Structures are given as structure tokens and as C-alpha cells.
Amino acid sequence: MATEIIDPIHGFIAADEDEMRVIDDPAFQRLRRINQLAGAHMVYPGARHARFEHSLGTMHISGMAAAALMSRGRLTESQSRALRLAGLVHDIGHGPFSHLFESVMRAHRGLGGASHEEIGRRILAETSLGDALGRPRRRVADLAFGGPAPSALPEIISGVMGTDTMDYLLRDGHFTGSEHARVDHRRLVSSLVRLKGRMGLARSALHSFESMMHSRRQMFRTVYFHRAVRAAQSTILRAFDLAAGELGLGSLTLEDYVGLTDDSAMAALRSLRPATRAVRDAQRLAREYEARVLPRCVLDEALEGRAPDAAAMRAEVASAAGVEESLVIVDVTGASSVPLAAGGREMRHVTLVGEPRGEATAEDVPFSSLPLLAALLGSMGTLRVYARGNTKKVASAASAAHRRWHAGGA
């Protein structure tokens, strides 16, 4: 008998016994305590939703896509069940503060510098969560994180038309109150086509796809890369980076990692003995983050082409301004203008399927040939410098450093 879970985005989400075993596992339950948008609540107070409910939503939309494909004889029952489970666990490898903590872990070679997808694979292979999945765990891992799954099925979750993107746009838009996140996910999943080992979209749904891509870009511009959101994120990121050695992030075991949440990571940081300057600075930054004492943005420039080295630029700006490095944050952000496919590949086309003569035909249409999508192409990169005090000096030094870098002299 299915369990029904009430969700503000999708209404009732049904989960069967196999899915509930995964949901009830402690490794999955910890996602309740990992915010989906770390730091965004500092600007958008409602943005307190977690990876937990996003994972449920991704499972739900993945199930809708699977049902549409099954109705046309393009998917088996076992593949459909595996897709739902893959949608459920696709974010299981995230740690505290999501992508922020991942970057610190990678910088300090925590768990071998693995990505959250690689950590997710290990969790499925080595913990009780994998036991809850049972025999299809390898198939589920390939669908969730990319791998030799048949016929491009991983693209249903993580491709340019991925169910992951559909749910996070809907959910993030709802909880931030943003009007930009408009996604006709029902039209999109009902228009998915599996043809000759490829995933495509019915040509009649192209406008819905273009609208989703536009919504994604607008959410990056107005929410994900909002300067105050990034100020909060950069503050806590710097705190964990400074304290990484004392926290032992480089020697964490998988068991340690699966026990971490936003709150437990902050508690560990607060509990450190303030014996070094780095720890004292880290704890000060953590207190400022929690009190929403955010640094002021003194430089905000769009990035085109190569990005500067943030650490080198921070040192240069601090030296030129005559302030301590801990008072300067250099934030280099960037994202692909379209969602990345499984394995981190950047897609440059959409496969459109039509029936001009009564027989389905697929065509890979470059984004550059579609006017609405061509306008979105290119990296969404931003260089920002933030200061805690001495803002005029830091602003002047940051502008000079940016000019030198832009001219090729930095």
C-alpha cells in the first residue's frame, strides 16, 4: 500500500514500500536538515526548504515521466521503478550547506576530493541506504549519477530536460516567492520521447522547454547569484575553509560524512578551541553569518572568459588596501547557461521529435539556431569583492586589481 506525503508543490506524493524503506533510512532522513539553498533565507526568509522534500519532488516528477514513456511502450515496469528511486536518491551525496561544503571538501581532499555524485555512489554501495535499495542499487546509481545505464535514461533526471531541474525551479520559486520560476513540468514530461536510444522532446513542446530555460537563467540572476545571498554563502564558505584542518575535513570517513547536517557542522565549528588565528577568524565569520552581519559588496562585474584566482586576488586587494585578508572576500561565481547532463557534460542541443510523414524522426537542434535559447548561451559568471570595514579602500584596491586582471596583467 502506498504512503501519501503532502507536498506544497505537487499535492500528494505517493511512495510505495520500497521507496519508504529508502526514505526512512537515517542517511536519507538527514536531508531534512540540509537546506536546499544555503544562505538564501538571509534574503528570502521563506527559503528554508531542504534537500529532503526536493528529493521527494524529483522522484514524483521522474515517476510522471516514466509513466508517460511506459504508456507508449518505451519503458519497462522495472525501469520505471528504478527511475523513481534514482530521482529519490540523486542528492544523497550532498553534505552540509550543499555545494558550499562540497567545494571545501574538494579543496582539502576530503573523501579523496570526491564530488557529491561520487559520494552518492559510495553511500549507495557502502551504507544501510544501499541495503534499503536492495538488488537494483547499481542500476539506480547509474540513473542517478550517470553511468552505463541504457539508452540515455539518466538524462530524464539530470539532462537539459531533467526532472531535477524542473523540481528545484518550482520549489525554489515557491519558497523564495520569486515570480521567475515558471515551469510547465506536466507538459514537458508528457512530451518526453525515447527514440532509438535517445531522449528527445516532442517538437510541439519546444516553447515550454524554452520557457523553462529562461526561468532557470532568471533564477540564477535574481536568487542563486543575488549579491546578498552570495555574501552569506561566501562568509560561511570562508569560515569552513579556515577551520578545515581543525575540523578534520581531510580525514573524514564516509560514516562521519553521512552524520553531518547544517546544524551539526556549525556546532562542530563553534566547539573548536580557539587556539589559532584561523579558528578565531572562522568562528567570528560563523557568528556573523548567523547574525546576518554580512560584508558589503564593493565590486560587482560580469565575467567573460577566464576567471581570476580568488585567493590571489584576495591577497592582492587586502595588501593594496592595507587591511587583513580576513576582511576581504573575493567571490567568483559561474554556471552553465543550460543544465549539465549526467557526468557534467554541457549540452549544446535539444533533440526534437516530430512526425512529419506519420513516422517519428529525431533531430538534434543546436541551441544557437533557436533565437530564444541562443540569447541565453554563455556562462553566467560574476566577480564580486566584499569588504568588512574600510570599504572605500577595499573598493579602490578591488577596482584596480580588476582592471589589471581584465587587461591581462594580473
Provide the phi-psi class of 117: left if phi over 0, else alpha when psi is between -120 and 50, else beta: alpha
For position 7, which CATH number holds? 1.10.3210.10
Q: What total of structural domains would you count in the chain?
A: 1
Is the residue at 113 inside a domain? yes
For the stretch 153-198, pLDDT in tens is: 888 998 888 999 999 999 999 999 998 898 999 999 999 998 877 8
Would the pLDDT of 151 be above 70? no
The verdict on residue 61 lying in a domain is yes
User: pTM for the whole thing?
Assistant: 0.93
Asked whether residue 181 is assigned to any structural domain, the reply reads yes
pLDDT band at 357 (very low <50, low <70, confident <90, very high): low
Task: Give pLDDT tens digits for 103-132.
Answer: 999 999 999 999 999 999 999 999 999 999
Mention every residue, 6+ apart, whose C-beta is less than 8 A from residue 346: 336, 338, 340
Tell me which H or E stretch contains 14: strand 11-15
Give domain status of residue 393, yes or no.
Answer: no
Task: Check residue 187 and give its pLDDT.
Answer: 97
Alpha-carbon distances of 106 from 110, 156, 254, rounded to whole Å: 6, 27, 14
**Confidence at residue 345, expressed as pLDDT on a 0 to 100 scale:** 66
Strands 349-354 and 198-202: parallel
pLDDT bucket at 95, cuts 50 / 70 / 90:
very high
Give the pLDDT band of residue 354 (cuts 50, 70, 90): confident
Q: What percent of the chain has pLDDT over 90?
A: 76
Cell of 314: 584576495
First to last CA, the chain: 63
Eight-state DSSP code of residue 221 = I
Per-residue confidence (pLDDT) for residue 6, from 0 to 100:
97
Q: Confirm if 90 and 145 have CB atoms less than 8 A apart.
A: yes
The whole domain housing 197 covers: 3-227
Q: Does some domain include residue 372?
A: no
| Most confident of the ranges 57-71, 295-309, 336-350 | 57-71
d(CA 215, CA 277): 43
SS3 329: strand
In a domain, 254, yes or no: no
Of 42-46, 119-123, 225-229, 308-312, the poorest mean pLDDT is in 308-312
pLDDT tens digits for 222-259?
A: 999 999 999 999 999 999 999 999 999 999 999 999 99
pLDDT of residue 362: 85
Query: What's the confidence (pLDDT) of residue 75?
Result: 92
Quote the percentage of the chain above a pLDDT of 70: 95
The single residue listed with the C-alpha cell 578545515 is 244
Q: Is residue 164, in this structure, part of any structural domain at all?
A: yes
Over residues 61-85, the pLDDT tens digits come to 999 999 999 998 889 999 999 999 9
**Could you tell me if 334 and 375 are in contact, meaning their C-beta atoms sit under 8 angstroms apart?**
no
Reading across the β-sheet that carries 296-303, which strands appear in turn?
296-303, 381-387, 328-333
Residue 358 has pLDDT above 70, yes or no: no
HSE value, Cβ hemisphere, 13 Å, CA-based, for 66: 22
For residue 200, is it within any domain?
Answer: yes
Q: What is the pLDDT, as a whole number, of residue 380?
A: 77
Query: Looking at residue 148, what is its pLDDT?
Result: 64
99 vs 152, more confident: 99
